[in-house]
């Protein structure tokens, strides 16, 4: 994996913030189910909250490989923070790519500064992997749209100040999905309670209820019926980001485990001298390296403007399933200690599972990969 000097500098800066400001509070934030807002503000100070925003609006406008490097570095500190960042970047990408000049000038500079935080509202209680089944509807009334519906599994659901909402403009037409920018303080928009989750507990995940929410026509980001295609194009890059986060989480678990087996003594020596332990460490390292290479291959394909849908799905599928395997082995090698909250590996293990679910389950990734070969 070749990185430029600029990419290495960005990686090192973000990794320093992750290790010094995010990781030290990650365990407490997980336990208390609170988000480390101070760490978010630090990420904003180094412009990380503007990764996908053009320089004209104050953003970094990084290439996809740099985006992957940053996501991995943040996830090494906390997957919950990395997830919040990637969803914020999905929102800024939508505004930057599909918004008109007035919308970009109004929203992007502040989003680059970290506030408002962005959210991405595609999934619904009855429409997850198949968004064409969504029930949220946007009815045209004069120069406004009136939006009604319920969105589910919304990362940054409470923290966000702006939401990218997907709705049908014709309730009977699955091809009428359209994308809208909805300010969080809009009348009729209600935030549900936080979900009680297995992992990723520092990240707020909620429902959003839209009851007669009115937005002006200029807040429609895509032509009517073009919202789903727009979402899928943005999610290709998002999947590269999730793959990178899974690699960062895996690397953190591996680092913790190498330290532990080097120090932990049994049978008159460190357990790292036991062949079966050494083999497990080798397997973990192989999985981490392979996930990183696949992720960067997909990122470079996007940077070359190639069709990277299959490459992104390969990376996400391998890296996220690999994160589950690596964190499980980390818990196992820690023995009974790995099952306690005294060590971070139990949190890594709980956090890892969600990477195989959000932004397209592993089954959806396999469908994308197979379609690229067989259709």
Residues whose CB is less than 8 angstroms from the CB of residue 327 and which lie 6 or more positions away in sequence, other chains included: 249, 250, 253, 345, 348, 349, 351, 352
Q: Does the active-site annotation cover 359?
A: yes
Contact predicate 100/223, CB 8 Å? no
At 135 the three-state DSSP class reads coil
| 344-to-69, 245, 319, 327, 338 alpha-carbon distances in Å | 22, 16, 20, 10, 8
| 326-to-8, 64, 283, 288 alpha-carbon distances in Å | 25, 25, 8, 8
**Cα 364 from chain centroid (whole Å):** 16
Nearest to 301 by CA among 230, 323, 95, 293: 293
Distance separating alpha carbons of residues 39 and 203, to the nearest angstrom: 13
Distance separating alpha carbons of residues 144 and 213, to the nearest angstrom: 10
Residues whose CB is less than 8 angstroms from the CB of residue 157 and which lie 6 or more positions away in sequence, other chains included: 119, 191, 192, 194, 204, 205, 206, 207, 208
The residue annotated as part of the active site, out of 72, 321, 346, 359, is 359
Catalytic residues, by residue number, are 359
């Amino acid at each position: 994996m070749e990185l430029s000097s600029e990419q290495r500098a960005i990686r090192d800066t973000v990794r320093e913030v992750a290790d010094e400001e995010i990781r030290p509070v990650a365990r407490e934030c997980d336990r208390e189910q609170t988000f480390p807002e101070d760490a978010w503000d630090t990420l904003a100070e180094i412009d990380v909250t503007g990764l996908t925003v053009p320089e004209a609006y104050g953003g970094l406008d990084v290439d996809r490989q740099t985006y992957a490097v940053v996501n991995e570095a943040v996830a090494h500190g906390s997957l919950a923070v990395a997830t919040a960042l990637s969803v914020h970047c999905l929102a800024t990408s939508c505004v930057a790519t599909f918004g008109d000049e007035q919308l970009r000038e109004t929203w992007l500079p502040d989003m680059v500064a970290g506030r408002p935080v962005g959210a991405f509202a595609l999934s619904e209680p009855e429409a997850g992997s198949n968004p064409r089944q969504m029930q949220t509807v946007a009815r045209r009334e004069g120069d406004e749209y009136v939006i009604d519906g319920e969105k589910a599994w919304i990362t940054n659901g409470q923290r966000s100040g702006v939401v990218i909402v997907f709705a049908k403009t014709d309730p009977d037409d699955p091809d009428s999905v359209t994308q809208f920018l909805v300010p969080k303080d809009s009348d009729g928009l209600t935030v549900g309670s936080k979900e009680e989750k297995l992992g990723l507990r520092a990240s707020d995940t909620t429902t959003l209820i839209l009851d007669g929410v009115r937005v002006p026509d200029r807040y429609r980001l895509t032509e009517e019926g073009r919202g789903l295609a727009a979402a899928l194009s943005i999610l290709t890059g998002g999947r590269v980001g999730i793959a990178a986060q899974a690699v960062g989480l895996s690397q953190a678990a591996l680092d913790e485990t190498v330290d532990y087996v080097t120090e932990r003594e049994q049978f008159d020596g460190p357990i790292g001298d036991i062949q079966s332990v050494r083999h497990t460490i080798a397997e973990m390292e192989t999985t981490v390296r392979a996930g990183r290479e696949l992720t960067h291959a997909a990122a470079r394909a996007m940077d070359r403007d190639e069709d990277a849908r299959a490459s992104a799905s390969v990376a996400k599928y391998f890296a996220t399933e690999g994160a589950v395997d690596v964190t499980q082995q980390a818990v196992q090698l820690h023995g009974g200690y790995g099952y306690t909250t005294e060590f971070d590996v139990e949190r890594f293990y709980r956090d890892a599972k969600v990477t195989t679910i959000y932004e397209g389950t592993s089954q959806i990734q396999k469908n994308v990969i197979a379609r690229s070969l067989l259709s």
